[in-house]
Structure 1
Amino acid sequence: MNIPSPNMYLDVLGQLNLDELNIQQAFEHYRQRYQLSELAQEFVNQCGSIDADLKCHTGIGYCDRTMGKQIPKARNCEGGSIRGSLLRSGLIRATGHEIFRGCVVFPTYHENGNVLSAVGYRVGRIRRNDSAVIYWHRPEPKAYVETGMSMAKELIREQTYH
C-alpha cells in the first residue's frame, strides 16, 4: 500500500492556482459573449482604431456585464473566493464592477495558454470617468505576496495603536 507523503500533498496543492483558473474562465466567458453579440462583432468590423491583426484574433471577447450575475454572491464562500480572486487580479474593482465593462476585449496569451494581458475597446457611450481603451496586465505572483504582506502589516499596526 502506498501512503502519500505530506510533501506530495503540498506539491499538488502548489500546482493549483485558483487565481489563474478564474482569470482563464473570465476570458472564456468574454469570448463566448462576443460570439453571441452582433453588436460587438459589428463594432470590431467597423472600428478604424482597432488594428487589422486584432480583428482576426481568435480569442476576442465582449464584457457585457453578465459574468457578475453568474458568479455566486460574495457572501457565499465560493462566490467570495471567485470574486476575491478576480479582484486580486484586477479584473474587477472593489465595487464588483468589471474593468472591461462595455468593452470588446483582446487578450494576449502566453505560450502555455495563460492570459498575460488584455486591451479593451469601449463599445457605445463612454462615461465621463471612463477611458475609450482599457489596458490590463496579469499581476506577477510576487505582487500577490507583497500586497498581502503590506495589508497584514497595516492590520497589525491598526491593532497595536488601538
Structure 2
Amino acid sequence: MKYNFPPCVYAETLLELPKLSELDIRVAKQYLPMIVEYYSQRLLLDEKAHDYLYVKYGISPLVSRHYSLGYSDRTLGAEFSHTNFAEREILRGSLKRLRLFRGSGHEAFVGCVVVPILVGESITGFYAERIARVCRNAKPFYRVRFEENCLFVTLNFEGQRDAYFCDSPLAAIQLCGLINKPAFATDRSFELNDQECEYMRKLGVQDIIILKPANTLASDMSKVRKKLTLAGFRSRIEPNFLEVKYGKA
C-alpha cells in the first residue's frame, strides 16, 4: 500500500498547523503519550535539566512530574530501532510532520526541557526551552502546535475569574507555585488566537494580568492588551515579578 504523505516540512511558527495524513493522526494518538512519558523518564536521569528547572523557575522534581515535564537528550530515535526499516521510516516521517523531528532526521528539542500542552486529554502541542547557551542556529525556545487551541494552563483554574498571562509555560508553573494563582501561556510572543480566547472564556476567566518581561517593549504589551480587550477580557499589565534566581537544588 502506498501512502500519500504531505511534504516533510519543519517549521517553528505559532500560526501554521502541520498538514497531516490520517496515518499521521493515528501515529500522534498512539505515540505522543509514549513520547511524553519517555521525555519524563529522561528528565529524571538528567541532573543539569533538573538544576535548570529549579534554579530558574523553582520547579521541583515533584512538580515536574505533576505537569509531565520532560527532557530531550538525543536518545528518542534509538527507541524506534526495534521496528523494521519500512515501519521506522513511516514513523519518522509522521514525527517530522508533527515537527518533533527535523527534516534532517534529528530530534527537534535536543537539549531542551519539554512541556506537553494538554487540552482535556489531548496533547495539542509542545513548548521546549533550551537549558544551555544557545549556539549556531539553535533557538532558545520552540513551540509546535497540532491544533488551533494550544494554550498551556495550570491546574488550578476552577472557579477563578482572574488569571495571569506569562511568557512561557514554565513561568506559569512557577507563578502557580509561588502565589497559587491560575496562569496560562503560549510563548514569549504572547500570541493568542480566537480559539484560545474562547477556551479561556469557557474556563470562566474575565480579568487577565499580563506579566511584562523586563526586556519586552511596552508597545508590544499594549498590542496584547488590545487583543484581549477585543476578545471581551478586562486586562492590565504588571512588571514580571517572577524574574528571580533560586538556589541550587
TM-score (norm 2): 0.44
Unaligned stretches of 5+ residues in structure 1: 1-12, 141-162
Name the amino acid aligned to 2:134. I
Instruction: Give the helix-richer structure, 1 or 2.
Output: 1
Identical aligned residues as a percent: 29
Of the structure 1 ranges 127-136 and 68-77, higher mean CA displacement relative to structure 2 is found in 68-77
Which runs of at least 4 in structure 1 moved beyond 6 Å after TM superposition? none
- Residue in structure 2 matched with residue 91 of structure 1 by the alignment: 100
What pairs up with 1:5-154 in 2 under 5 angstroms?
17-47=26-56, 50=57, 56-57=63-64, 58=66, 59-72=68-81, 76-112=85-121, 114-138=122-146
Post-superposition Cα deviations, 1:1-49, rounded to whole Å, max 9, x if no partner, equal xxxxxxxxxxxx99x82232122222221111011211111110011xx
Residue 139 of structure 1 deviates from its aligned partner by 5.1
Name the amino acid aligned to 1:26. I
Unaligned stretches of 5+ residues in structure 2: 1-21, 149-249
CA RMSD across the alignment: 2.9
SS of the residue 2:87 aligns to: helix
Q: 1:90 to 1:67 in 2, by over 3 A?
A: same
Asked if structure 1 preserves the Cα contact closer than 8 Å seen for 2:125 and 2:147, the reply is no
Instruction: Give the strand-richer structure, 1 or 2.
Output: 2
State the aligned residue count: 123
Q: 1:74 to 1:98 in 2, by over 3 A?
A: farther
Residue 136 of structure 1 deviates from its aligned partner by 1.4
